Amino acid sequence: MMLNMEDIIVIIIQASGLGSLIALIIIYLKDKQWKRTEAAYQFYNDFDANKDCQLAMFMLDYGIEDAPFKFEYYFPKLSEKIIVHYNYDKLNEAMRKPYENLTEEEQVIRFLFDVYIGYLERIFYCLVTNYFKKKELIFYKYWLDKLISEEYKEIRNYAVENSCGLFVPFLEKYRKRLKKKVEKWVNKKFK
């Protein structure tokens, strides 16, 4: 069977059309991946720039052995500035006590961690719904590693008692499976 010129032209046009379609699909998928990464990065920047989250992260950086520090916080609930003399024990008390028994300083600490946990829950939701990929956890690895440590179990207990739906289950999933995947991804990309 011999192909005539018209058949050859049709085959070339079909092949170039198929090639163009494949190229468009690849471009679309790359663009989608780029937008997802950009959104994850922006979400992290918002998290990292939030003053309440910054204070919570600062508190997470100070462990049992570290010296106490103080900070001033304008607490909208009381419409005044509160001087918080922070130490590790005060964090645990703020997470453990019923709200009505908290001192003003402990209320501020609790509020800061409510904001912090709320941000992380939104991130976990984005991961669970596949809006973000697991590798985007690279931005949060340091903080997640702290939160899964025994040192901060009171924060996890507080989250469970106060219906922070995704927080503790996701941290458990991170501890058991995702932490290894994130570390593997980092080692693969940066070694």
Global confidence as pTM: 0.77
126 located within any domain: yes
What's the confidence (pLDDT) of residue 51? 94
What's the confidence (pLDDT) of residue 97? 92
86 located within any domain: yes
Tens of pLDDT along the chain (191 residues) come to 677 878 778 788 887 887 787 878 888 777 777 787 787 778 888 888 999 999 999 999 887 777 788 899 998 777 889 999 999 999 999 999 998 999 999 999 999 999 999 988 888 888 888 888 888 788 888 899 999 988 899 998 898 888 677 888 888 888 888 888 888 877 776 66
What's the confidence (pLDDT) of residue 26? 81
5 located within any domain: no
Domain holding 130, by residue range, is 37-190
**What's the domain count of the chain?**
1
Give SS3 for 85.
strand
24 located within any domain: no
What's the confidence (pLDDT) of residue 113? 94
31 located within any domain: no
- Inter-residue contact 49 to 64 (CB < 8 Å): no
What's the confidence (pLDDT) of residue 191? 64
- Between the alpha carbon of residue 109 and those of residues 2, 77, 80, 98, 131, the distances in Å are 82, 13, 15, 13, 31
108 located within any domain: yes
Distance CA 71, CA 55 (A): 9
